[in-house]
Structure 1
């Protein structure tokens, strides 16, 4: 049996290294997205444990939603 079956050339070695680096980056991205999903799931679970009265409070942004009244000025 020939030993050059497992002998990689320069191009193959560079290709495998590039593929490994891309897979490593994809793994980091998947772990990051999984961590964000777990964090959002934990926040949602805490929200489900809150009493119903806390979910019916008035909006703290009520002043921003208030209609603006414009008074006319007489320039003459």
Structure 2
């Protein structure tokens, strides 16, 4: 249903775009470009290289890895 709130990692996407000034698609592509790295390696990369907070980085990585699994 269209009126249901967004749940899971995607619920962070609006605040990620607002805080870091880049569309979520760019963050997702950045993570995809580093595959097949492990989850925490990708989280660390976003935190260390791009100044992203842990929760935001984890949400982006979790969403990308979930989509990659199909």
TM bracket, shorter-chain basis: under 0.3
Q: Which of the two has higher C-alpha Rg?
A: 1
Bigger proportion of residues as helix: 2
| TM-score, normalised by the number of residues in structure 1 | 0.23
